[in-house]
Structure formats: structure tokens, C-alpha cells
């Protein structure tokens, strides 16, 4: 649509209308109305051409805005995917590193445990051997001590038996002596029949 304004002399029209019998105010009003009708754009009336031009402009702007938004969205999505992929790869690498370190540490701990077990088995075997030797030595000493005590008890018992036998003899002599003393005391003063 062309935005051209048609030249229109309102003063001349006003004067012509006044000469034709209109009042000054009526002539001015009529001139203004005619000027507005001739120059439609001045009134702000929208024509079909205006609407089509506006629609084309809006569609073009809308399409450009949509394309820009799509492009920005696609770029942002690609950046986010790239960041996400990089982050996932970094996390996977970190997890693999931690797994490797953990496996190495576990293998080290297992090796240490195996070494400690081996040392403990050796120490336990040494302690058992020492204890067996000590127990055997203690048994031998106890057997010797027991044999010594038995021997001493046998000697002591033989001595006690000898003493008891002597005491029997002494007691027999004492009883016999007492018997004779008692006999002499009671029977010895009386005549024998």
C-alpha cells in the first residue's frame, strides 16, 4: 500500500462552502471531514492492504523469531548434550579409577592378611613346639620328682616299719616287764601252793 497523502487545501474548500451559504463553522467542519475522507491514513482506519502488509510483516518476524529460537534451542541442547556426555565420561573415568584403586587396595590388604596369617601360623607352630617341649620336660621332671618322692617314701616307710617292729619289741619287753612287776607285786608276796 502506498502511504501517499493527497494534497487537499482545507482553506479553499472552507471559503467556497461559505460562499455557497454555509456558516463559517459549518464550512470548517465540512472541509475537515472531506480532508479526512480523502486522506484515509490520517484517521487511522485500517484497510485490507494494511492488514495484509501487517500480516506479512508479523509472519516474517514470527518465522524469524521461531527460527532463531529453534536455532538457540538446538545449540543449547547440543551444548547440554555435550556437557552431559563429557560429565558422564568424566564420571565413568572417575568410577573406573576408583574401582582400579579399590581393587589394588583390596589386593594389597589380602596380601597383608595372607602374610599375617602365614606369620601367625608359623608363630603358632613355634609356640606349640615350645609348649610340647616344655610339657615333655615338665613331665620328665615330674616323673623324676615322683620317683624321688616314691623312693624317699619307700625308704621312709621301711624306716617306719623298722621303727614299728622295734616298738613292738620294746612294747613286748615293756608289757612282759610290767607283767612280771605286777605278778611280783600281787602274787609274789603270797606263798605258792
Q: What would the pLDDT profile of 76-118 be if each residue is shown by its tens digit?
A: 889 899 988 899 999 999 999 999 999 999 999 999 999 999 9
- Which stretches of the chain score pLDDT less than 50? 1, 40
Q: How far is CA 87 from CA 77, 92, 93, 98, 101, in A?
A: 15, 8, 10, 16, 21
d(CA 112, CA 2): 95
Contacts of 48 (CB under 8 A, 6+ apart): none
pLDDT the model gives residue 1: 45
Could you tell me the pTM of the whole model? Answer: 0.37
- Rounded CA-CA distance 82/74 in Å is 12
How much of the chain, in percent, has pLDDT values that exceed 70? 88
By 3-state DSSP, what share of the chain in percent is helix, strand and coil, each rounded to 5?
85, 0, 15
Amino acid at each position: 500500500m502506498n502511504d501517499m497523502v493527497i494534497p487537499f487545501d482545507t482553506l479553499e474548500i472552507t471559503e467556497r462552502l461559505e460562499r455557497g451559504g454555509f456558516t463559517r463553522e459549518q464550512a470548517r467542519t465540512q472541509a475537515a471531514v472531506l480532508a479526512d475522507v480523502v486522506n484515509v491514513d490520517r484517521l487511522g482506519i485500517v484497510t485490507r492492504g494494511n492488514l495484509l502488509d501487517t500480516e506479512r510483516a508479523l509472519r516474517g518476524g514470527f518465522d524469524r523469531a521461531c527460527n532463531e529460537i529453534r536455532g538457540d534451542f538446538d545449540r543449547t541442547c547440543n551444548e547440554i548434550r555435550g556437557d552431559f556426555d563429557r560429565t558422564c565420561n568424566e564420571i565413568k573415568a572417575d568410577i573406573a579409577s576408583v574401582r582400579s584403586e579399590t581393587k589394588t587396595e583390596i589386593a594389597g590388604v589380602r596380601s597383608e592378611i595372607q602374610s599375617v596369617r602365614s606369620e601367625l601360623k608359623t608363630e603358632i607352630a613355634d609356640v606349640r613346639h615350645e609348649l610340647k617341649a616344655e610339657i615333655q620336660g615338665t613331665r620328665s621332671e615330674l616323673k623324676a620328682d615322683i620317683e624321688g618322692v616314691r623312693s624317699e617314701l619307700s625308704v621312709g616307710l621301711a624306716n617306719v616299719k623298722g621303727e614299728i617292729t622295734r616298738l613292738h619289741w620294746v612294747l613286748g619287753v615293756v608289757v612282759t616287764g610290767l607283767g612280771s612287776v605286777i605278778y611280783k607285786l600281787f602274787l609274789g608276796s603270797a606263798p605258792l601252793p
